[in-house]
Amino acid sequence: MPPRIKKQTTATKRGRPARRVVAVDLFCGAGGKTRGFLQAGLEVVAGVDIDPTCRFPYVANNAPAKFVQKSVSDLTCEEVARWYPKGAIRVLIGCTPCQPFSRYSYRYGAADKERRSLDKRWGLLHAFRSLVDGLLPDIVTVENVPQMALMGHSVYAQFIENLHRLEYHVSSSIVRCADYGVPQTRERLVLLASRLGPIDLIAPTHPEGSHETVRGVIGHLPRISAGGPPPTDDALHRACSLSPLNLRRIRATPEGGGWHDWPAELRLDCHSRETGKTYPSVYGRMRWDGLAPTLTTQCFGLGNGRFGHPEQERAISLREAALLQTFPSDYRFVEKDGDFTFKHIGKHIGNAVPVRIGEVIALSIKEHLRQQAAGGRAAPKGRKRSC
């Protein structure tokens, strides 16, 4: 069980008791954002997600934060308000599912039924906006794919307009996650908004030349074989089995290489067509001294991207994927005797906000509160909370 985190408070002022800083994590998933906040020393009292399989990893790793299984669209302002202690500085985290905004979902031609399902999830940002309207949390943060801002989605523009209407100071940036210690090429949109005063993300902690690498993060793990048992008591350090043909393919792939390096007889038919050339990374290997690609929910599969181990004849293990997402090495995703499926655990790992990005957001909030305490600024006296 991870150590309990001290409750974070702002600095005392003129002898008055310090205020607790308390967050609620909506769309919490397996707890990546919450874990990051806890590592930064900020208190999280609850995580909300509609997926019941998130309960175990969320609670097992982030107690005493509670897990609430519910759609955010069904939450009421009054319900969420009860989770915040009286007088606390309220932080609301709202990282809505990224699929509706992802370029991948539309670039590769989602079927009509699937696309309608994606479009319905756009409404989750509206549901989050409604909670902001009623709660008026002191600080709001959103993390999503860059396309949410870059592609001009009206639902995002309306969300920003509403924050300004409610007198929030808003900043947003497209973050290169490697610049903050995440060993991936991943980029994400991070929005911070505060009613207390101007707020910004802290400066990069890992500038060019000091990025974490694949070797530095997973190079210490013991060797395993595709489809073999884990060599230790860590059930997550196992890799998917490979067919004889795919074993030949991974053996023909050099470090950092891909299907372009194979002899003709190993290539798929699609690789000879123009459309196949737009997938240069499938069946690829990572580089030891480079960054991993953006990890997805299918990152355990060799044919789903550049997810081959740099030198071993296999795709990366689930534990390696979790480490590349900056989860602690002892983070648990399933109960000891619980059902173990690559698809189930891969979904939790790939969908997660990297823990380090959650930590950086929390550190940015702490720095913001330090500046506000030093300057003695107060929240706007305009609109009041309705709950």
Residues labelled as active-site residues: 98
C-alpha 386/C-alpha 135 separation (Å) is: 6
CA–CA distance, 190 with 41 (Å, rounded to integer) = 20
Alpha helix segments (H runs only) across 222-312: 244-251
What is the CB-side half-sphere exposure of residue 379 using CA atoms within 13 A? 17
**Amino acid sitting at position 148:** M
DSSP string of 167-234?
Answer: T-EEEEEEEEGGGGT--B--EEEEEEEESSS---PPPPSS-TT----HHHHHTTSPP--BTPPPSSS-
Decide: 140 and 317 in contact? Cβ < 8 Å: no
Token pair of 112, please? Answer: 């009509």
Reference 140, options 201, 98, 191, 189; nearest CA is 191
CA distances from 191 to 34, 94, 242, 266, 343 (A): 16, 10, 41, 45, 30
Per the structure block, which two tokens stand in for 214? 């694949």
Nearest 5°: the CA angle 59, 62, 68 is: 45
Whether the link from the prior residue into 64 is cis, omega within 30° of 0, is: yes
**Which tokens hold the place of 10?**
């702002």
Q: Helix (H, G, I), strand (E, B), or coil: what is residue 317?
A: coil
Output phi, psi for 339, to 5 deg: -65, 135
Q: Output phi, psi for 271, to 5 deg.
A: -70, -20
Phi, psi for 91 (deg, rounded to 5) = -115, 130
